[in-house]
Amino acid sequence: MKLILISKRSDKVRTFSLNSWVRVLLSVALLGIPVAAGVLLGVKLSDGRWQLLFEDHIVDMQNELTVSRQELQDDRQQISQTLSLMTAKLAQMQSSVVRLDALGEQLTEISGIEGGEFDFSSMPGLGGPEHLGQQVFQNNDSKHADLNLLISGIASTLNQREIQLKLLRSSLADKNLINQRRLAGRPIAKGWLSSPYGMRTDPFSGQRRWHAGVDFAGRLGSDVIAVASGIITWSGEKSGYGKMVEVNHSDGYVTRYAHNQENVAKLGTVVNKGDVIAKMGTSGRSTGPHVHFEVFKNGRVVDPASYIRRTSR
């Protein structure tokens, strides 16, 4: 066997001859290394170490899979519980909407508001242009999407009902304020009309005299009430009237309640319609228990009859 060596620096070529022993040793070296590696690998595999290593990895993977399955099951249970809670909450919200609608309709009927102004049986009109470019988020889960849509709908209904009820409450408050200020009804809780407004026969002299108010007779000590809200501008004795209460109302109205047994309302007190301001008596120029009721408009006495016949709106 010959080996030929060529040098890059020079053009010389060298040739070496190998004898039989060198050839044997070289062959053993080249073939022995792979064989030795294979034998070593076989020994390692045969002693079970690699098998244990593979088994350990498999066990770890199985444990991780078991944990993942448990976490998935827990997540499903949590989602199921959440959906159940959301469903129960939705039922409560729907019940609230029904109760609000019923209350709104009752208040509308009680207040006497024209039909259609506060319609609690249908959704109020809504609208507006769509804003282009606005991102819309959608849930791929159909159950969650349906629940979110239902929750949004009920929440919108509740918000609209809240707005309607606030407006209705404001309207009722204004209506109540107007009703409180409006002269209407009789100045007694119990009793009857005993003498009208105008010319009459004077009970003391028997002559025709002008009667500037109306008289309501009743039981001694029965309630005398204000026919409208106002401020007490007189509470005391007045010649001919006996014990008298005078109330200053809005829009230039003043009312007087005379011949009382007792004046309940004090000077400067703010009273509401229906408040007890005195007790029926027979003080002053009187023949028996009654209340003398007068109405003034802008300083001039007027017939109380039209106000007595009024009813609260």
Between 134 and 179, the more confident residue is: 179
Mean pLDDT over the full length of the chain: 76
User: Between residues 137 and 256, which one has the greater pLDDT?
Assistant: 256
According to DSSP, residue 238 is labeled: E
Per-residue pLDDT averaged across 206-213, rounded?
92
User: What value does the mean pLDDT take over residues 256-281?
Assistant: 95
Calculate the alpha carbon distances from 162 to 112, 125, 169 in Å.
20, 15, 10
The phi, psi pair for 261, rounded to 5°, reads -75, -35
Per-residue DSSP letter, 46: H
- What mean pLDDT do residues 36-45 have? 59
Other beta carbons less than 10 A from residue 150's beta carbon: 15
pLDDT at 30 exceeding the cut of 70: no
Instruction: State what percent of residues in the chain have pLDDT above 90.
Output: 37
- State the SS3 of 275-295: CEEEEEECCCCCCCCEEEEEE
Determine the distance from the C-alpha atom of residue 157 to the mean position of all C-alpha atoms in its chain, rounded to a whole number: 10
As a whole number, mean pLDDT of residues 109-124 equals 57
pLDDT at position 26: 62
Q: Which residues, in sequence order, are bridge partners of residue 52?
A: none
- Residue 312, phi then psi, degrees to nearest 5: -65, 135
Cα 246-248-252 angle, rounded to 5 deg: 130
Give whole-number Cα distances, 262 to 145, 158, 177, 233, 244, in Å. 71, 52, 28, 16, 9
Q: Where in the chain is the domain with CATH 2.70.70.10?
A: 192-308
Residue type, 52: L
Q: Is the pTM of this model over 0.75?
A: no
Give the pLDDT score at 152.
Answer: 74
Q: CATH 2.70.70.10: does it fit domain 192-308?
A: yes
Residue-level pLDDT at 307: 93
Q: Does residue 79 or residue 125 have the better pLDDT?
A: 79
Over residues 94-99, mean pLDDT: 71
How far are the Cα atoms of 34, 36, 39, 267 from residue 43, in angstroms, in the given order?
Answer: 14, 11, 6, 118
Q: What is the pLDDT of residues 243-267, one digit of tens each?
A: 999 999 988 999 999 999 999 999 9
Mean pLDDT over residues 3-15, rounded? 58
In this prediction, residue 212 carries a pLDDT of 93
User: Which of 25-29, 58-62, 208-212 is predicted least confidently?
Assistant: 25-29
Which pLDDT does position 140 carry in this prediction? 47
